[in-house]
Amino acid sequence: MQSIVVKAPGRINLIGEHTDYNNGFVLPAAIQQAAIVSISKRTDQQIHLTAVDVPDELIIDSLLHLSIQEKQWANYIIGVIAQIQKKYILPSGFNIALTSDVPIGAGVSSSAAIECAVAFGINELFGLSIERMELAFMAQKAEHEFAGVQCGIMDQFASVFGKKNHVVLLDCQSMEYQYFPLVLEGYQVILFDTSIKHALASSEYNTRRKECEQGVALVKAKYPTVTSLRDASIEMLNESIDFQTHPIVYNRCKYVIEEITRTQNACVDLQANNLEAFGQKMFETHQGLSKLYEVSCPELDFLVEQVKNNEAVIGARMMGGGFGGCTINIIQSEKASQIIKEIKTAYQKSTGKYLKHYIMRIEDGAGIL
Ligand code: GLA
Protein backbone atom coordinates (compact mmCIF):
# COMPACT_ATOMS: atom_id res chain seq x y z
CA MET A 1 0.00 0.00 0.00
CA GLN A 2 1.41 3.39 -1.01
CA SER A 3 -1.24 5.74 0.35
CA ILE A 4 -4.31 5.81 2.52
CA VAL A 5 -7.13 8.16 3.56
CA VAL A 6 -8.51 7.82 7.09
CA LYS A 7 -10.81 9.74 9.36
CA ALA A 8 -11.09 10.11 13.11
CA PRO A 9 -13.97 12.01 14.73
CA GLY A 10 -14.36 14.53 17.51
CA ARG A 11 -16.46 13.56 20.53
CA ILE A 12 -19.21 14.59 22.84
CA ASN A 13 -19.39 13.47 26.45
CA LEU A 14 -22.79 12.94 28.04
CA ILE A 15 -21.55 12.81 31.60
CA GLY A 16 -18.34 12.13 33.55
CA GLU A 17 -16.32 15.33 33.20
CA HIS A 18 -12.79 15.74 34.57
CA THR A 19 -13.03 12.20 35.86
CA ASP A 20 -10.81 10.43 33.32
CA TYR A 21 -7.49 11.52 34.84
CA ASN A 22 -8.89 10.60 38.25
CA ASN A 23 -9.40 6.97 37.21
CA GLY A 24 -13.17 7.49 37.10
CA PHE A 25 -15.86 6.86 34.47
CA VAL A 26 -16.73 8.80 31.32
CA LEU A 27 -19.60 8.41 28.85
CA PRO A 28 -18.49 9.81 25.50
CA ALA A 29 -19.51 9.18 21.89
CA ALA A 30 -17.85 9.93 18.55
CA ILE A 31 -19.57 12.57 16.40
CA GLN A 32 -20.15 13.30 12.73
CA GLN A 33 -17.43 15.95 12.53
CA ALA A 34 -14.04 14.41 11.88
CA ALA A 35 -10.42 15.01 10.93
CA ILE A 36 -9.47 13.42 7.63
CA VAL A 37 -5.86 12.71 6.72
CA SER A 38 -4.41 11.46 3.49
CA ILE A 39 -1.00 9.85 3.95
CA SER A 40 1.33 8.67 1.20
CA LYS A 41 4.77 7.08 1.44
CA ARG A 42 7.88 8.89 0.21
CA THR A 43 11.13 7.42 -1.00
CA ASP A 44 13.20 9.66 1.32
CA GLN A 45 13.12 10.34 5.07
CA GLN A 46 11.23 13.64 4.88
CA ILE A 47 7.79 14.41 6.24
CA HIS A 48 5.74 16.88 4.25
CA LEU A 49 2.74 18.26 6.12
CA THR A 50 -0.14 20.19 4.59
CA ALA A 51 -2.96 21.75 6.60
CA VAL A 52 -5.52 22.15 3.87
CA ASP A 53 -7.91 24.36 5.84
CA VAL A 54 -5.40 26.93 7.16
CA PRO A 55 -3.80 26.66 4.49
CA ASP A 56 -0.23 26.00 5.57
CA GLU A 57 2.68 23.65 4.96
CA LEU A 58 5.69 22.35 6.78
CA ILE A 59 8.59 20.16 5.72
CA ILE A 60 10.50 18.13 8.30
CA ASP A 61 13.92 17.10 6.97
CA SER A 62 14.13 13.77 8.71
CA LEU A 63 11.59 11.69 10.52
CA LEU A 64 14.33 10.86 12.99
CA HIS A 65 14.63 14.48 14.13
CA LEU A 66 11.28 15.59 15.48
CA SER A 67 10.81 18.57 17.75
CA ILE A 68 8.03 20.87 18.94
CA GLN A 69 7.04 23.30 16.19
CA GLU A 70 5.84 26.89 16.31
CA LYS A 71 2.89 25.92 14.14
CA GLN A 72 0.47 24.41 16.64
CA TRP A 73 -1.45 22.33 14.10
CA ALA A 74 1.79 20.56 13.17
CA ASN A 75 2.46 19.51 16.77
CA TYR A 76 -0.63 17.32 16.85
CA ILE A 77 0.77 15.39 13.89
CA ILE A 78 4.46 15.33 14.75
CA GLY A 79 3.68 14.51 18.37
CA VAL A 80 2.02 11.29 17.24
CA ILE A 81 4.82 10.35 14.84
CA ALA A 82 7.29 10.81 17.70
CA GLN A 83 5.28 8.46 19.93
CA ILE A 84 5.08 5.78 17.24
CA GLN A 85 8.82 5.98 16.71
CA LYS A 86 9.52 5.31 20.36
CA LYS A 87 8.48 1.72 19.69
CA TYR A 88 8.35 1.13 15.94
CA ILE A 89 10.65 1.79 13.01
CA LEU A 90 9.13 3.69 10.13
CA PRO A 91 10.90 2.63 6.91
CA SER A 92 10.43 5.92 5.02
CA GLY A 93 9.11 9.43 5.22
CA PHE A 94 5.62 10.37 4.08
CA ASN A 95 3.31 13.17 3.02
CA ILE A 96 0.33 14.02 5.20
CA ALA A 97 -2.52 16.28 4.15
CA LEU A 98 -5.02 17.19 6.87
CA THR A 99 -8.51 18.63 6.76
CA SER A 100 -11.07 18.73 9.56
CA ASP A 101 -14.57 19.98 10.20
CA VAL A 102 -14.37 19.44 13.96
CA PRO A 103 -14.95 22.92 15.40
CA ILE A 104 -11.77 24.22 17.05
CA GLY A 105 -11.98 25.41 20.65
CA ALA A 106 -15.53 24.13 21.03
CA GLY A 107 -14.63 21.40 23.52
CA VAL A 108 -15.33 18.58 21.05
CA SER A 109 -11.71 17.43 20.80
CA SER A 110 -10.53 18.75 17.50
CA SER A 111 -6.94 18.02 18.52
CA ALA A 112 -7.65 14.41 19.55
CA ALA A 113 -9.35 13.89 16.18
CA ILE A 114 -6.17 14.94 14.36
CA GLU A 115 -3.92 12.88 16.62
CA CYS A 116 -6.05 9.77 16.27
CA ALA A 117 -6.39 10.12 12.50
CA VAL A 118 -2.61 10.35 12.17
CA ALA A 119 -1.97 7.44 14.55
CA PHE A 120 -4.57 5.28 12.84
CA GLY A 121 -3.38 6.23 9.35
CA ILE A 122 0.34 5.59 9.91
CA ASN A 123 -0.46 2.29 11.59
CA GLU A 124 -2.49 1.17 8.58
CA LEU A 125 -0.14 2.53 5.93
CA PHE A 126 2.94 0.84 7.35
CA GLY A 127 1.14 -2.27 8.58
CA LEU A 128 2.41 -1.82 12.14
CA SER A 129 -0.46 -3.82 13.73
CA ILE A 130 -0.75 -1.51 16.73
CA GLU A 131 -3.87 -2.25 18.80
CA ARG A 132 -6.56 0.46 18.94
CA MET A 133 -6.03 1.03 22.66
CA GLU A 134 -2.33 1.62 22.18
CA LEU A 135 -3.08 4.06 19.36
CA ALA A 136 -5.32 6.03 21.72
CA PHE A 137 -2.59 6.12 24.37
CA MET A 138 -0.02 7.27 21.81
CA ALA A 139 -2.34 10.06 20.70
CA GLN A 140 -2.82 11.09 24.34
CA LYS A 141 0.95 11.12 24.90
CA ALA A 142 1.35 13.36 21.86
CA GLU A 143 -0.99 15.87 23.51
CA HIS A 144 1.08 15.71 26.74
CA GLU A 145 4.46 16.06 25.12
CA PHE A 146 3.85 18.23 22.05
CA ALA A 147 0.79 20.31 23.02
CA GLY A 148 1.56 20.64 26.73
CA VAL A 149 -1.89 19.58 27.96
CA GLN A 150 -1.84 16.81 30.55
CA CYS A 151 -5.15 15.45 29.27
CA GLY A 152 -6.83 12.21 30.30
CA ILE A 153 -7.65 9.41 27.86
CA MET A 154 -11.32 10.17 27.16
CA ASP A 155 -11.01 12.17 23.93
CA GLN A 156 -8.56 9.89 22.16
CA PHE A 157 -10.41 6.80 23.39
CA ALA A 158 -13.74 8.10 22.05
CA SER A 159 -12.23 9.07 18.71
CA VAL A 160 -10.76 5.59 18.22
CA PHE A 161 -13.50 3.44 19.84
CA GLY A 162 -16.69 5.36 19.01
CA LYS A 163 -19.62 3.35 17.67
CA LYS A 164 -22.54 4.64 15.60
CA ASN A 165 -25.61 5.48 17.72
CA HIS A 166 -23.89 4.31 20.91
CA VAL A 167 -22.31 5.96 23.90
CA VAL A 168 -19.45 4.16 25.56
CA LEU A 169 -18.96 3.87 29.27
CA LEU A 170 -15.24 3.77 29.91
CA ASP A 171 -13.73 2.80 33.23
CA CYS A 172 -10.54 4.84 33.14
CA GLN A 173 -8.99 2.70 35.87
CA SER A 174 -9.30 -0.73 34.26
CA MET A 175 -9.80 0.62 30.70
CA GLU A 176 -12.76 -1.75 30.37
CA TYR A 177 -15.60 -0.34 28.32
CA GLN A 178 -19.17 -1.06 27.45
CA TYR A 179 -21.35 0.31 24.66
CA PHE A 180 -24.91 1.48 25.30
CA PRO A 181 -27.32 2.29 22.48
CA LEU A 182 -28.31 5.93 22.81
CA VAL A 183 -32.02 5.81 22.19
CA LEU A 184 -33.39 9.32 22.49
CA GLU A 185 -36.78 8.89 20.94
CA GLY A 186 -38.22 12.34 20.40
CA TYR A 187 -35.07 14.08 21.68
CA GLN A 188 -31.91 15.44 20.13
CA VAL A 189 -28.45 16.14 21.43
CA ILE A 190 -27.68 19.77 20.63
CA LEU A 191 -24.50 21.70 21.38
CA PHE A 192 -24.52 25.45 21.91
CA ASP A 193 -21.13 26.93 21.15
CA THR A 194 -20.13 30.04 23.11
CA SER A 195 -17.42 30.73 20.49
CA ILE A 196 -15.20 31.54 23.44
CA LYS A 197 -11.99 29.80 24.35
CA HIS A 198 -10.22 31.45 27.25
CA ALA A 199 -6.45 31.48 26.96
CA LEU A 200 -6.06 30.03 30.45
CA ALA A 201 -7.87 26.82 29.52
CA SER A 202 -4.76 24.61 29.18
CA SER A 203 -2.90 26.00 32.19
CA GLU A 204 -6.01 25.76 34.38
CA TYR A 205 -6.57 22.21 33.15
CA ASN A 206 -3.08 21.23 34.28
CA THR A 207 -3.67 23.03 37.58
CA ARG A 208 -6.85 21.02 38.19
CA ARG A 209 -4.89 17.83 37.68
CA LYS A 210 -2.34 18.95 40.25
CA GLU A 211 -5.03 19.94 42.75
CA CYS A 212 -6.56 16.49 42.44
CA GLU A 213 -3.13 14.93 43.03
CA GLN A 214 -2.71 17.08 46.15
CA GLY A 215 -6.08 15.84 47.31
CA VAL A 216 -5.09 12.22 46.74
CA ALA A 217 -1.89 12.73 48.74
CA LEU A 218 -3.88 14.16 51.67
CA VAL A 219 -6.42 11.33 51.62
CA LYS A 220 -3.65 8.76 51.25
CA ALA A 221 -1.98 10.06 54.40
CA LYS A 222 -4.99 8.76 56.31
CA TYR A 223 -6.04 5.93 53.99
CA PRO A 224 -2.81 4.47 52.55
CA THR A 225 -4.55 2.21 50.02
CA VAL A 226 -6.03 5.18 48.14
CA THR A 227 -4.16 5.79 44.88
CA SER A 228 -6.66 8.03 43.07
CA LEU A 229 -9.93 9.85 43.74
CA ARG A 230 -11.67 6.78 42.34
CA ASP A 231 -10.76 4.98 45.55
CA ALA A 232 -12.03 7.77 47.82
CA SER A 233 -15.50 8.40 49.24
CA ILE A 234 -16.97 11.66 50.54
CA GLU A 235 -16.62 10.26 54.08
CA MET A 236 -12.93 9.61 53.51
CA LEU A 237 -12.54 13.10 52.08
CA ASN A 238 -14.20 14.63 55.14
CA GLU A 239 -11.99 12.59 57.43
CA SER A 240 -8.75 13.57 55.72
CA ILE A 241 -9.07 17.05 54.22
CA ASP A 242 -10.08 20.01 56.34
CA PHE A 243 -12.15 22.44 54.27
CA GLN A 244 -10.93 25.44 56.29
CA THR A 245 -7.26 24.62 55.64
CA HIS A 246 -7.55 23.40 52.02
CA PRO A 247 -10.82 24.83 50.63
CA ILE A 248 -9.84 24.62 46.97
CA VAL A 249 -8.43 21.10 47.08
CA TYR A 250 -11.43 19.98 49.14
CA ASN A 251 -13.90 21.35 46.58
CA ARG A 252 -12.05 19.90 43.60
CA CYS A 253 -12.01 16.45 45.21
CA LYS A 254 -15.63 16.69 46.30
CA TYR A 255 -16.72 17.41 42.75
CA VAL A 256 -14.68 14.53 41.28
CA ILE A 257 -15.82 11.97 43.85
CA GLU A 258 -19.46 12.98 43.33
CA GLU A 259 -19.11 12.98 39.55
CA ILE A 260 -17.65 9.48 39.47
CA THR A 261 -20.67 8.14 41.38
CA ARG A 262 -23.06 10.31 39.36
CA THR A 263 -21.75 8.89 36.08
CA GLN A 264 -22.30 5.31 37.23
CA ASN A 265 -25.82 6.16 38.36
CA ALA A 266 -26.51 8.01 35.13
CA CYS A 267 -25.76 4.81 33.21
CA VAL A 268 -28.36 3.00 35.28
CA ASP A 269 -30.84 5.75 34.32
CA LEU A 270 -29.92 5.37 30.68
CA GLN A 271 -30.42 1.61 30.74
CA ALA A 272 -33.78 2.07 32.44
CA ASN A 273 -34.62 4.66 29.77
CA ASN A 274 -35.18 7.19 32.53
CA LEU A 275 -34.14 10.27 30.59
CA GLU A 276 -35.54 12.67 33.17
CA ALA A 277 -33.26 11.31 35.87
CA PHE A 278 -30.33 11.26 33.47
CA GLY A 279 -30.89 14.87 32.48
CA GLN A 280 -31.18 15.95 36.09
CA LYS A 281 -27.71 14.56 36.68
CA MET A 282 -26.36 16.61 33.77
CA PHE A 283 -27.60 19.76 35.51
CA GLU A 284 -25.97 18.58 38.76
CA THR A 285 -22.70 18.03 36.91
CA HIS A 286 -22.84 21.57 35.60
CA GLN A 287 -23.41 22.94 39.06
CA GLY A 288 -20.37 21.02 40.34
CA LEU A 289 -18.15 22.05 37.43
CA SER A 290 -19.16 25.67 37.89
CA LYS A 291 -19.10 26.04 41.68
CA LEU A 292 -16.72 23.36 43.01
CA TYR A 293 -14.39 22.60 40.13
CA GLU A 294 -14.53 26.16 38.77
CA VAL A 295 -13.95 25.37 35.11
CA SER A 296 -17.07 27.09 33.74
CA CYS A 297 -17.37 30.72 32.64
CA PRO A 298 -20.22 33.27 32.62
CA GLU A 299 -21.21 32.43 29.04
CA LEU A 300 -21.53 28.69 29.74
CA ASP A 301 -23.43 29.36 32.97
CA PHE A 302 -25.74 31.69 31.08
CA LEU A 303 -26.56 29.03 28.47
CA VAL A 304 -27.36 26.40 31.10
CA GLU A 305 -29.41 28.88 33.14
CA GLN A 306 -31.47 29.75 30.06
CA VAL A 307 -32.67 26.19 29.49
CA LYS A 308 -32.81 25.01 33.07
CA ASN A 309 -36.50 25.58 33.64
CA ASN A 310 -37.58 24.69 30.15
CA GLU A 311 -39.62 21.49 30.22
CA ALA A 312 -38.51 20.58 26.73
CA VAL A 313 -34.87 20.46 27.86
CA ILE A 314 -34.13 17.22 29.69
CA GLY A 315 -30.58 18.12 30.69
CA ALA A 316 -27.80 20.59 29.97
CA ARG A 317 -24.27 21.27 31.11
CA MET A 318 -20.92 22.58 30.00
CA MET A 319 -18.90 19.93 28.20
CA GLY A 320 -15.19 19.12 27.98
CA GLY A 321 -12.30 20.90 29.66
CA GLY A 322 -14.23 24.14 30.17
CA PHE A 323 -13.39 27.90 30.13
CA GLY A 324 -15.45 28.25 26.97
CA GLY A 325 -16.53 25.81 24.31
CA CYS A 326 -19.97 24.25 24.25
CA THR A 327 -22.85 23.21 26.42
CA ILE A 328 -24.43 19.85 25.66
CA ASN A 329 -28.23 19.77 25.79
CA ILE A 330 -30.85 17.06 25.40
CA ILE A 331 -33.83 18.78 23.83
CA GLN A 332 -37.24 17.61 22.72
CA SER A 333 -37.08 17.44 18.91
CA GLU A 334 -40.46 19.12 18.39
CA LYS A 335 -39.45 22.18 20.37
CA ALA A 336 -35.80 22.28 19.28
CA SER A 337 -35.97 24.90 16.54
CA GLN A 338 -37.98 27.27 18.74
CA ILE A 339 -35.56 26.85 21.65
CA ILE A 340 -32.51 27.32 19.44
CA LYS A 341 -34.01 30.56 18.14
CA GLU A 342 -34.78 31.87 21.63
CA ILE A 343 -31.36 30.99 23.04
CA LYS A 344 -29.59 32.60 20.12
CA THR A 345 -31.47 35.83 20.66
CA ALA A 346 -30.87 35.80 24.40
CA TYR A 347 -27.16 35.04 23.98
CA GLN A 348 -26.70 37.78 21.43
CA LYS A 349 -28.48 40.23 23.71
CA SER A 350 -26.47 39.28 26.76
CA THR A 351 -22.98 38.85 25.26
CA GLY A 352 -23.15 40.61 21.90
CA LYS A 353 -21.96 37.34 20.34
CA TYR A 354 -23.48 35.01 17.78
CA LEU A 355 -24.33 31.61 19.24
CA LYS A 356 -23.56 28.64 17.00
CA HIS A 357 -25.33 25.34 17.44
CA TYR A 358 -24.70 21.80 16.27
CA ILE A 359 -27.27 19.01 16.12
CA MET A 360 -25.25 15.92 16.89
CA ARG A 361 -25.19 12.55 15.21
CA ILE A 362 -23.27 9.74 16.81
CA GLU A 363 -20.91 7.98 14.43
CA ASP A 364 -18.21 5.33 14.32
CA GLY A 365 -14.70 6.01 15.56
CA ALA A 366 -11.52 6.07 13.49
CA GLY A 367 -11.57 4.18 10.21
CA ILE A 368 -10.34 3.96 6.65
CA LEU A 369 -12.31 6.02 4.11
C1 GLA B 1 -10.46 17.51 27.99
C2 GLA B 1 -9.43 16.39 28.15
C3 GLA B 1 -10.10 15.10 28.59
C4 GLA B 1 -11.01 15.30 29.79
C5 GLA B 1 -11.93 16.51 29.58
C6 GLA B 1 -12.70 16.84 30.82
O7 GLA B 1 -11.31 17.24 26.93
O8 GLA B 1 -8.74 16.19 26.95
O9 GLA B 1 -9.11 14.12 28.85
O10 GLA B 1 -10.27 15.41 30.97
O11 GLA B 1 -11.21 17.66 29.18
O12 GLA B 1 -13.56 15.82 31.14
Nearest CA to ligand 1 atom 11: 321
* pLDDT of 198: 77
How confident is the prediction for the chain on average, in pLDDT?
Answer: 97
For residue 152, the CA-to-ligand 1 centroid distance in Å is 6
Distance CA 14, CA 170 (A): 12
324: part of which helix (H) or strand (E)? strand 324-332
Assess whether 301 carries a catalytic annotation: no
The CA 106 to ligand 1 mean position distance, Å, reads 12
Which of ligand 1's atoms lies nearest the C-alpha of 26? 12
CATH fold group of domain 3-182: Ribosomal Protein S5; domain 2 (3.30.230)
Please report, for the chain, the start and end positions of each structural domain, with discontinuous segments joined by +. 3-182
Q: Which of 56, 61, 155, 231 is catalytic?
A: 155
Q: Are 102 and 115 in contact (CB under 8 A)?
A: no
Distances (CA, A) of 318 to 182, 256, 300: 20, 15, 6
Q: pLDDT of 146-177, one tens digit each?
A: 999 999 999 999 999 999 999 999 999 999 99
Q: Do residues 216 and 229 make contact, with C-beta atoms less than 8 angstroms apart? A: yes
CA 319 to ligand 1 center in whole angstroms: 9
Q: What is the pLDDT of residue 1?
A: 87
Q: Looking at ligand 1, which atom is closest to the CA of residue 16? A: 12
Atom of ligand 1 nearest to the CA of 143: 8
Contact call for residues 35 and 100 (beta carbons, < 8 A): yes
The per-residue pLDDT for range 198-207, each reduced to its tens digit, is: 777 789 999 9
Q: Could you give the CA distance from residue 205 to residue 223 in angstroms, rounded to a whole number?
A: 26
Ligand 1, residues 14, 20, 172: which to mutate, most atoms within 8 A of Cβ? Answer: 20
Give the residue, 23 or 183, on which the prediction is more confident: 23
CA distance 227 to 368: 39
**How far away, in angstroms, is 84 Cα from ligand 1 center?**
22
Q: Residues 6-21: what's their mean pLDDT?
A: 98
pLDDT tens digits, one per residue of 308-319? 999 999 999 999
Percentage of residues in the chain having pLDDT higher than 70 = 100
Alpha-carbon span 207 to 88, nearest angstrom: 33
pLDDT at 27: 98
- If DSSP codes are grouped into helix, strand and coil, which group holds residue 323? coil
Residue 92: strand, helix, or coil? coil
Using a 6 Å CB cutoff, which residues line ligand 1?
17-18, 20-21, 109, 151-152, 154-155, 320-321
pLDDT of residue 199: 72
- Please report the pLDDT score of residue 228 as a whole number: 98
pLDDT band at 363 (very low <50, low <70, confident <90, very high): very high
> Which residue's CA is the closest to the ligand 1 atom numbered 1?
321
pLDDT given at position 57: 98
- Binned at pLDDT 50, 70 and 90, residue 215 comes out as very high
Structure confidence at residue 214 (pLDDT)? 98
What's the pLDDT score for residue 69?
96
Nearest to 175 by CA among 164, 188, 161: 161
Which pLDDT does position 201 carry in this prediction? 78
Name the residue among 313, 301, 310 with its Cα closest to residue 350.
301
For residue 206, the CA-to-ligand 1 centroid distance in Å is 11
Mean pLDDT of 71-85: 97
36 band by pLDDT with thresholds 50, 70 and 90: very high
Atom nearest to 13 CA in ligand 1:
12
By most ligand atoms within 8 Å of CB, the mutation choice from 109, 151, 202, 285 for ligand 1 is 151
Q: How confident is the model at residue 86, as a pLDDT?
A: 97
